[in-house]
Structure 1
Amino acid sequence: MRCSTIFIVLIILFITSCARHRPIPADPQKVWYDHQLTLQNIKNWDLKGRLSIQAIKEKKSGSGTLYWSQKNGIYDISWIFPFGQGKVVLHGDCNLVTLQLPKEKPVTATSPDHLLRSRLGWSLPIDSLNYWVLGLPTPKLATKKLLLDSWGYLENLHQGNWHIHYQKYKKIKQQYLPEKIFLNSPQLKVRLVIQQWNFS
Protein backbone atom coordinates (compact mmCIF):
# COMPACT_ATOMS: atom_id res chain seq x y z
CA MET A 1 0.00 0.00 0.00
CA ARG A 2 1.37 3.41 -0.96
CA CYS A 3 2.25 5.92 1.79
CA SER A 4 -0.42 8.40 0.65
CA THR A 5 -3.10 5.69 0.82
CA ILE A 6 -1.97 4.65 4.31
CA PHE A 7 -2.12 8.27 5.43
CA ILE A 8 -5.70 8.70 4.16
CA VAL A 9 -6.80 5.48 5.85
CA LEU A 10 -5.29 6.64 9.16
CA ILE A 11 -7.14 9.96 8.93
CA ILE A 12 -10.45 8.18 8.27
CA LEU A 13 -9.86 5.85 11.22
CA PHE A 14 -9.04 8.80 13.47
CA ILE A 15 -12.17 10.74 12.46
CA THR A 16 -14.32 7.63 12.90
CA SER A 17 -12.82 6.99 16.32
CA CYS A 18 -13.52 10.59 17.41
CA ALA A 19 -17.10 10.33 16.18
CA ARG A 20 -17.64 7.17 18.23
CA HIS A 21 -16.39 8.90 21.37
CA ARG A 22 -18.54 12.00 20.85
CA PRO A 23 -21.74 11.08 19.01
CA ILE A 24 -23.96 13.83 17.63
CA PRO A 25 -27.10 14.03 19.81
CA ALA A 26 -30.59 13.63 18.39
CA ASP A 27 -31.72 16.85 20.11
CA PRO A 28 -28.92 19.48 20.37
CA GLN A 29 -31.37 22.00 21.85
CA LYS A 30 -32.00 19.74 24.85
CA VAL A 31 -28.24 19.26 25.31
CA TRP A 32 -27.86 23.05 25.29
CA TYR A 33 -30.65 23.49 27.84
CA ASP A 34 -29.16 20.91 30.21
CA HIS A 35 -25.65 22.24 29.65
CA GLN A 36 -26.70 25.78 30.62
CA LEU A 37 -28.26 24.56 33.85
CA THR A 38 -25.06 22.74 34.77
CA LEU A 39 -22.78 25.69 34.00
CA GLN A 40 -24.99 28.15 35.86
CA ASN A 41 -24.37 26.12 39.03
CA ILE A 42 -20.60 26.51 38.71
CA LYS A 43 -19.79 29.42 41.04
CA ASN A 44 -16.10 28.78 41.69
CA TRP A 45 -13.58 28.17 38.92
CA ASP A 46 -10.00 28.82 37.83
CA LEU A 47 -8.43 28.91 34.40
CA LYS A 48 -5.02 29.36 32.89
CA GLY A 49 -4.50 30.26 29.27
CA ARG A 50 -2.88 32.38 26.61
CA LEU A 51 -4.51 35.77 26.02
CA SER A 52 -3.79 38.16 23.17
CA ILE A 53 -5.48 41.52 22.70
CA GLN A 54 -5.28 43.84 19.71
CA ALA A 55 -6.60 47.40 20.07
CA ILE A 56 -7.69 48.28 16.54
CA LYS A 57 -7.90 52.07 16.78
CA GLU A 58 -4.73 52.48 18.84
CA LYS A 59 -2.90 49.90 16.71
CA LYS A 60 -1.49 48.30 19.84
CA SER A 61 -1.37 44.65 20.84
CA GLY A 62 -0.15 42.46 23.64
CA SER A 63 -0.08 38.81 24.60
CA GLY A 64 0.72 36.84 27.69
CA THR A 65 -0.41 34.23 30.16
CA LEU A 66 -3.82 34.68 31.77
CA TYR A 67 -4.77 33.44 35.24
CA TRP A 68 -8.40 33.94 36.25
CA SER A 69 -9.88 32.84 39.57
CA GLN A 70 -13.60 33.31 40.24
CA LYS A 71 -14.79 32.62 43.80
CA ASN A 72 -18.34 33.46 44.89
CA GLY A 73 -18.52 36.61 42.76
CA ILE A 74 -14.98 37.77 43.56
CA TYR A 75 -12.47 37.66 40.71
CA ASP A 76 -8.68 37.74 40.58
CA ILE A 77 -7.29 38.20 37.08
CA SER A 78 -3.60 38.34 36.20
CA TRP A 79 -2.28 38.92 32.70
CA ILE A 80 1.46 38.20 32.78
CA PHE A 81 3.71 39.33 29.94
CA PRO A 82 6.78 37.38 28.78
CA PHE A 83 10.44 38.24 29.39
CA GLY A 84 9.79 39.92 32.74
CA GLN A 85 7.76 42.78 31.27
CA GLY A 86 5.40 42.71 34.24
CA LYS A 87 1.72 42.01 34.61
CA VAL A 88 -1.74 43.56 34.78
CA VAL A 89 -3.72 42.57 37.88
CA LEU A 90 -7.46 43.07 38.30
CA HIS A 91 -9.22 42.20 41.55
CA GLY A 92 -12.80 42.94 42.48
CA ASP A 93 -16.47 42.15 42.72
CA CYS A 94 -19.74 43.81 41.63
CA ASN A 95 -19.09 46.80 43.92
CA LEU A 96 -15.39 47.60 43.78
CA VAL A 97 -12.44 46.78 41.55
CA THR A 98 -8.70 47.41 41.82
CA LEU A 99 -6.31 47.59 38.87
CA GLN A 100 -2.53 47.41 39.12
CA LEU A 101 -0.34 48.07 36.09
CA PRO A 102 3.40 47.36 35.84
CA LYS A 103 5.47 49.86 37.88
CA GLU A 104 2.35 51.76 39.00
CA LYS A 105 0.37 52.00 42.21
CA PRO A 106 -3.01 50.23 42.41
CA VAL A 107 -6.06 52.23 41.32
CA THR A 108 -9.58 51.55 42.59
CA ALA A 109 -13.00 52.27 41.04
CA THR A 110 -16.54 50.94 41.06
CA SER A 111 -16.50 49.69 37.43
CA PRO A 112 -13.84 47.51 35.75
CA ASP A 113 -14.90 48.75 32.30
CA HIS A 114 -14.34 52.43 33.12
CA LEU A 115 -11.17 51.68 35.04
CA LEU A 116 -9.60 49.75 32.17
CA ARG A 117 -10.62 52.38 29.63
CA SER A 118 -9.21 55.25 31.67
CA ARG A 119 -5.89 53.50 32.31
CA LEU A 120 -5.36 51.46 29.12
CA GLY A 121 -7.45 53.24 26.50
CA TRP A 122 -9.62 50.18 25.88
CA SER A 123 -12.00 48.09 27.93
CA LEU A 124 -13.11 44.49 28.33
CA PRO A 125 -16.59 43.68 29.69
CA ILE A 126 -15.35 41.68 32.69
CA ASP A 127 -18.88 41.14 34.05
CA SER A 128 -19.85 39.52 30.74
CA LEU A 129 -16.58 37.69 30.18
CA ASN A 130 -17.08 35.57 33.29
CA TYR A 131 -20.08 34.05 31.47
CA TRP A 132 -18.54 33.96 28.00
CA VAL A 133 -15.44 32.04 29.09
CA LEU A 134 -17.72 29.27 30.39
CA GLY A 135 -19.57 29.12 27.08
CA LEU A 136 -22.69 30.94 28.31
CA PRO A 137 -24.44 34.10 27.13
CA THR A 138 -24.42 36.81 29.76
CA PRO A 139 -27.81 37.84 31.19
CA LYS A 140 -26.47 41.40 31.40
CA LEU A 141 -26.79 41.96 27.62
CA ALA A 142 -29.47 41.24 25.05
CA THR A 143 -28.65 38.36 22.72
CA LYS A 144 -28.69 39.39 19.08
CA LYS A 145 -27.68 36.01 17.69
CA LEU A 146 -26.98 32.57 19.15
CA LEU A 147 -25.82 29.60 17.13
CA LEU A 148 -25.18 26.10 18.46
CA ASP A 149 -22.84 23.49 17.01
CA SER A 150 -23.95 19.98 16.08
CA TRP A 151 -23.39 18.75 19.66
CA GLY A 152 -25.55 21.42 21.30
CA TYR A 153 -22.81 23.74 22.53
CA LEU A 154 -22.40 27.43 21.86
CA GLU A 155 -20.58 28.16 18.60
CA ASN A 156 -21.37 31.81 17.79
CA LEU A 157 -22.83 34.53 19.97
CA HIS A 158 -23.59 38.22 19.41
CA GLN A 159 -24.17 40.33 22.52
CA GLY A 160 -23.75 44.07 22.78
CA ASN A 161 -20.98 45.09 20.39
CA TRP A 162 -19.26 41.72 20.73
CA HIS A 163 -19.14 38.70 18.47
CA ILE A 164 -17.91 35.60 20.30
CA HIS A 165 -16.84 32.52 18.36
CA TYR A 166 -16.11 29.23 20.13
CA GLN A 167 -13.66 27.35 17.97
CA LYS A 168 -12.91 24.41 20.26
CA TYR A 169 -14.17 22.68 23.42
CA LYS A 170 -12.48 20.35 25.88
CA LYS A 171 -14.03 17.73 28.17
CA ILE A 172 -13.44 18.56 31.84
CA LYS A 173 -15.10 16.43 34.56
CA GLN A 174 -17.83 15.17 32.21
CA GLN A 175 -18.53 18.69 30.96
CA TYR A 176 -17.42 20.35 27.74
CA LEU A 177 -15.85 23.74 28.41
CA PRO A 178 -14.34 26.21 25.92
CA GLU A 179 -10.72 25.73 24.95
CA LYS A 180 -10.35 28.33 22.18
CA ILE A 181 -12.42 31.53 22.04
CA PHE A 182 -12.27 34.44 19.58
CA LEU A 183 -13.93 37.70 20.68
CA ASN A 184 -14.30 40.69 18.36
CA SER A 185 -15.71 44.18 18.81
CA PRO A 186 -15.23 47.37 16.75
CA GLN A 187 -12.41 48.32 19.15
CA LEU A 188 -10.74 45.02 20.07
CA LYS A 189 -9.74 41.60 18.80
CA VAL A 190 -9.27 39.11 21.61
CA ARG A 191 -7.93 35.56 21.38
CA LEU A 192 -8.05 33.21 24.36
CA VAL A 193 -6.68 29.67 24.40
CA ILE A 194 -7.51 28.00 27.71
CA GLN A 195 -4.90 25.46 28.73
CA GLN A 196 -6.26 24.46 32.13
CA TRP A 197 -9.68 24.44 33.82
CA ASN A 198 -10.55 23.80 37.48
CA PHE A 199 -14.03 24.23 38.87
CA SER A 200 -16.31 23.19 41.72
Structure 2
Amino acid sequence: MRMRLCFLLLPLALMTACTTKPLIRQQGDAATLGAQESRERALSGKDHWTVQGKLSVSNGQDGGSGTLTWRQSGDDYDFTVRGPVTGKSFRLSGGPAGATLEGLDGGPQRGADAESLMERALGWKLPMRDLQAWVRGLRADSGPADIAFGADGLPSRIEQDGWQVEYRAWNATLEPALPTKVFAEHPPYKVRLSIDNWTSD
Protein backbone atom coordinates (compact mmCIF):
# COMPACT_ATOMS: atom_id res chain seq x y z
CA MET A 1 0.00 0.00 0.00
CA ARG A 2 2.86 2.36 0.83
CA MET A 3 4.44 2.04 -2.61
CA ARG A 4 1.07 2.33 -4.24
CA LEU A 5 0.31 5.59 -2.48
CA CYS A 6 3.75 6.89 -3.34
CA PHE A 7 2.99 6.79 -7.00
CA LEU A 8 -0.35 8.42 -6.58
CA LEU A 9 1.28 11.73 -6.11
CA LEU A 10 3.19 11.55 -9.29
CA PRO A 11 0.23 11.94 -11.53
CA LEU A 12 -0.06 15.44 -10.37
CA ALA A 13 2.59 16.07 -12.83
CA LEU A 14 0.70 15.67 -15.99
CA MET A 15 -0.24 19.14 -16.86
CA THR A 16 -0.30 21.19 -19.99
CA ALA A 17 1.57 24.45 -20.32
CA CYS A 18 -0.08 27.52 -18.80
CA THR A 19 -1.01 29.88 -21.60
CA THR A 20 -3.78 31.94 -20.02
CA LYS A 21 -4.08 33.35 -16.51
CA PRO A 22 -7.28 33.60 -14.47
CA LEU A 23 -8.46 36.62 -12.53
CA ILE A 24 -6.48 36.57 -9.31
CA ARG A 25 -6.70 38.24 -5.93
CA GLN A 26 -3.06 39.03 -5.15
CA GLN A 27 -1.22 40.24 -2.08
CA GLY A 28 1.82 42.37 -2.79
CA ASP A 29 2.86 45.74 -4.16
CA ALA A 30 2.98 46.65 -7.83
CA ALA A 31 6.67 45.79 -8.17
CA THR A 32 6.22 42.33 -6.64
CA LEU A 33 3.19 41.54 -8.78
CA GLY A 34 4.97 42.78 -11.88
CA ALA A 35 7.95 40.53 -11.16
CA GLN A 36 5.63 37.52 -10.75
CA GLU A 37 3.92 38.27 -14.05
CA SER A 38 7.33 38.44 -15.73
CA ARG A 39 8.25 35.04 -14.23
CA GLU A 40 5.00 33.56 -15.51
CA ARG A 41 5.54 34.88 -19.02
CA ALA A 42 9.10 33.57 -19.10
CA LEU A 43 8.26 30.11 -17.74
CA SER A 44 5.10 29.60 -19.79
CA GLY A 45 7.31 29.40 -22.87
CA LYS A 46 9.65 26.82 -21.32
CA ASP A 47 7.69 23.58 -21.53
CA HIS A 48 10.59 21.12 -21.88
CA TRP A 49 12.10 20.38 -18.47
CA THR A 50 13.08 17.65 -16.03
CA VAL A 51 12.66 17.52 -12.26
CA GLN A 52 14.53 15.09 -10.01
CA GLY A 53 13.86 14.84 -6.31
CA LYS A 54 11.83 13.16 -3.58
CA LEU A 55 8.10 12.79 -3.30
CA SER A 56 5.77 11.89 -0.43
CA VAL A 57 2.00 11.65 -0.32
CA SER A 58 -0.69 11.02 2.29
CA ASN A 59 -4.47 10.66 2.25
CA GLY A 60 -4.78 11.20 6.01
CA GLN A 61 -4.56 7.49 6.81
CA ASP A 62 -1.93 5.98 4.53
CA GLY A 63 1.13 7.44 2.91
CA GLY A 64 4.33 6.68 1.08
CA SER A 65 7.43 8.20 -0.43
CA GLY A 66 10.05 7.66 -3.12
CA THR A 67 12.40 9.30 -5.57
CA LEU A 68 10.90 11.11 -8.53
CA THR A 69 11.98 11.79 -12.09
CA TRP A 70 9.48 13.95 -14.00
CA ARG A 71 10.12 14.80 -17.64
CA GLN A 72 7.82 17.29 -19.34
CA SER A 73 8.06 17.75 -23.13
CA GLY A 74 5.36 20.15 -24.17
CA ASP A 75 2.07 18.32 -23.59
CA ASP A 76 3.84 14.96 -23.17
CA TYR A 77 4.92 13.74 -19.74
CA ASP A 78 6.88 10.87 -18.22
CA PHE A 79 6.51 10.57 -14.45
CA THR A 80 8.50 7.83 -12.71
CA VAL A 81 8.70 7.08 -8.97
CA ARG A 82 10.95 4.51 -7.34
CA GLY A 83 10.38 3.21 -3.81
CA PRO A 84 13.24 3.53 -1.32
CA VAL A 85 13.11 -0.08 -0.08
CA THR A 86 11.79 -2.34 -2.82
CA GLY A 87 13.18 -0.31 -5.69
CA LYS A 88 9.98 -0.96 -7.61
CA SER A 89 9.12 1.71 -10.18
CA PHE A 90 5.79 3.19 -11.17
CA ARG A 91 5.53 5.11 -14.41
CA LEU A 92 2.81 7.45 -15.62
CA SER A 93 3.27 8.65 -19.18
CA GLY A 94 1.24 10.08 -22.01
CA GLY A 95 -0.06 13.24 -23.62
CA PRO A 96 -3.09 14.50 -25.55
CA ALA A 97 -3.70 11.02 -27.02
CA GLY A 98 -4.11 9.39 -23.60
CA ALA A 99 -2.31 8.17 -20.49
CA THR A 100 -0.62 4.90 -19.49
CA LEU A 101 0.06 3.74 -15.94
CA GLU A 102 2.67 1.00 -15.49
CA GLY A 103 3.96 -0.82 -12.43
CA LEU A 104 0.67 -1.89 -10.84
CA ASP A 105 -0.48 -5.46 -10.36
CA GLY A 106 -2.28 -6.75 -13.42
CA GLY A 107 -0.17 -4.96 -15.99
CA PRO A 108 -0.37 -1.52 -17.63
CA GLN A 109 -3.62 0.42 -17.49
CA ARG A 110 -4.68 3.09 -19.97
CA GLY A 111 -7.11 5.99 -19.97
CA ALA A 112 -8.16 9.06 -21.89
CA ASP A 113 -6.22 11.32 -19.53
CA ALA A 114 -4.04 11.10 -16.43
CA GLU A 115 -6.65 12.41 -14.01
CA SER A 116 -9.39 9.91 -14.87
CA LEU A 117 -6.87 7.06 -15.12
CA MET A 118 -5.47 7.72 -11.66
CA GLU A 119 -8.93 8.02 -10.14
CA ARG A 120 -10.05 4.76 -11.72
CA ALA A 121 -6.88 2.80 -11.00
CA LEU A 122 -6.07 4.14 -7.53
CA GLY A 123 -9.13 6.02 -6.32
CA TRP A 124 -7.37 9.37 -6.03
CA LYS A 125 -8.67 12.75 -7.08
CA LEU A 126 -5.70 15.05 -7.59
CA PRO A 127 -5.22 18.35 -9.50
CA MET A 128 -2.75 16.87 -11.96
CA ARG A 129 -3.16 19.58 -14.58
CA ASP A 130 -2.68 22.34 -12.03
CA LEU A 131 0.48 20.86 -10.53
CA GLN A 132 2.52 21.55 -13.63
CA ALA A 133 2.04 25.24 -12.90
CA TRP A 134 2.24 25.01 -9.11
CA VAL A 135 5.51 23.07 -9.12
CA ARG A 136 7.09 26.02 -10.93
CA GLY A 137 5.61 28.61 -8.60
CA LEU A 138 2.92 29.72 -11.05
CA ARG A 139 -0.85 29.96 -10.82
CA ALA A 140 -2.73 27.44 -12.91
CA ASP A 141 -5.20 28.40 -15.61
CA SER A 142 -8.11 26.52 -13.98
CA GLY A 143 -9.70 29.38 -12.05
CA PRO A 144 -9.23 32.24 -9.57
CA ALA A 145 -6.30 32.04 -7.15
CA ASP A 146 -4.87 33.86 -4.15
CA ILE A 147 -1.11 34.41 -4.04
CA ALA A 148 1.14 35.68 -1.24
CA PHE A 149 4.83 36.57 -1.39
CA GLY A 150 7.81 36.18 0.92
CA ALA A 151 10.43 38.77 1.80
CA ASP A 152 12.43 37.67 -1.25
CA GLY A 153 9.58 38.71 -3.56
CA LEU A 154 8.90 35.11 -4.62
CA PRO A 155 5.59 33.31 -3.98
CA SER A 156 5.21 31.86 -0.49
CA ARG A 157 1.68 30.52 -0.99
CA ILE A 158 -0.86 29.93 -3.74
CA GLU A 159 -4.45 28.96 -2.92
CA GLN A 160 -6.48 27.58 -5.81
CA ASP A 161 -9.25 25.02 -6.38
CA GLY A 162 -9.41 24.26 -2.66
CA TRP A 163 -5.68 23.47 -2.48
CA GLN A 164 -3.12 25.42 -0.48
CA VAL A 165 0.35 25.25 -2.01
CA GLU A 166 3.24 26.45 0.15
CA TYR A 167 6.74 27.23 -1.10
CA ARG A 168 9.33 26.49 1.60
CA ALA A 169 12.49 27.04 -0.49
CA TRP A 170 13.61 28.37 -3.86
CA ASN A 171 16.65 28.09 -6.12
CA ALA A 172 17.26 31.77 -6.81
CA THR A 173 20.40 31.03 -8.86
CA LEU A 174 18.17 29.92 -11.74
CA GLU A 175 16.70 32.46 -14.13
CA PRO A 176 13.82 32.68 -13.51
CA ALA A 177 13.95 31.29 -9.94
CA LEU A 178 12.26 27.91 -9.37
CA PRO A 179 10.95 26.20 -6.20
CA THR A 180 12.85 23.43 -4.44
CA LYS A 181 10.32 22.59 -1.71
CA VAL A 182 6.62 22.50 -2.58
CA PHE A 183 3.97 21.43 -0.05
CA ALA A 184 0.38 21.07 -1.29
CA GLU A 185 -2.61 20.27 0.92
CA HIS A 186 -6.34 19.74 0.40
CA PRO A 187 -7.49 17.85 3.50
CA PRO A 188 -7.19 14.95 3.84
CA TYR A 189 -4.67 14.87 0.97
CA LYS A 190 -1.09 16.08 1.37
CA VAL A 191 1.73 16.17 -1.16
CA ARG A 192 5.36 16.99 -0.41
CA LEU A 193 7.91 17.55 -3.16
CA SER A 194 11.61 18.19 -2.49
CA ILE A 195 13.41 19.04 -5.73
CA ASP A 196 17.13 18.30 -6.01
CA ASN A 197 17.59 19.32 -9.63
CA TRP A 198 15.83 21.35 -12.34
CA THR A 199 16.95 20.88 -15.95
CA SER A 200 15.64 22.74 -18.99
CA ASP A 201 15.92 20.99 -22.35
Question: TM-score with structure 2 length normalisation?
Answer: 0.79
**CA 167–173 in structure 1, closer or farther in 2 if over 3 Å, else same:** closer
The answer on whether the counterparts of 1:161 and 1:186 sit within 8 Å (CA) in structure 2 is no
Partner of 1:119: 121
Q: 2:83 aligns with which of 81, 84, 105?
A: 81
Q: Tell me which of 55, 80, 85 is aligned to 1:51.
A: 55
**1:178 maps to which residue?**
179
Contact 1:148 1:154 in 2 (8 A): yes
CA distance in 2, matches of 1:119, 1:85: 21
State the 1:114 CA deviation.
1.9
Alignment CA distance shift 1:106-1:178 (3 Å): same
Local SS of the residue matching 2:177? strand
**In the alignment, is the contact (CA less than 8 A) between 1:77 and 1:90 conserved in 2?**
yes
Q: Counterpart of 1:162 in structure 2: which amino acid?
A: W
Stretches of structure 2 that go unaligned for 5 or more consecutive residues are 1-28
> CA 1:106–1:39 in structure 2 vs 1: closer, same or farther (change >3 Å)?
same
Shift in Å, 1:111:
2.3
Describe the superposition over 1:13-43 as per-residue Cα deviations: whole angstroms up to 9, x where unpaired: xxxxxxxxxxxx9922221121111111111
The count of residues paired between Structure 1 and Structure 2 equals 173
Matched residue SS, 1:175: coil
**1:140 partner letter:** S
Is the alpha carbon distance of 1:124 and 1:26 closer, same or farther for their aligned partners in structure 2, counting shifts above 3 Å?
closer
Identity %: 27
Range 155-164 or range 103-112, more displaced: 103-112
Q: Does residue 107 in structure 1 map to residue 101 in structure 2?
A: no
| Distance (Å, rounded) in 2 between the aligned partners of 1:68 and 1:151 | 27
Give the number of the structure with larger relative contact order, counting CA–CA contacts within 8 Å between residues 6 or more apart: 2
Partner Cα distance (2:122, 2:173) in 1: 34
Structure with max Cα Rg: 1
> 1:172/1:84 Cα in 2 relative to 1: closer, same or farther (>3 Å)?
farther
Supply the AA of the counterpart residue of 1:45: W
CA distance in 1, matches of 2:58, 2:142: 24
Which residue identity does 1:53 align to in structure 2? Answer: V
Query: Do the aligned partners of residues 153 and 95 (structure 1) sit closer, same or farther apart at CA in structure 2, a change above 3 Å counting?
Result: farther
Match of 2:152 in 1: 151
Q: TM-score, normalised by structure 1?
A: 0.80
2:189 match: 188
In the alignment, the residues of structure 2 paired with residue 161 and residue 27 of structure 1 have an alpha-carbon distance, to the nearest angstrom, of 27
For 1:13, the equivalent position in structure 2 comes to none
> Which amino acid counterpart does residue 55 of structure 1 have in structure 2?
N
Residue number in structure 2 paired with 1:28: 32
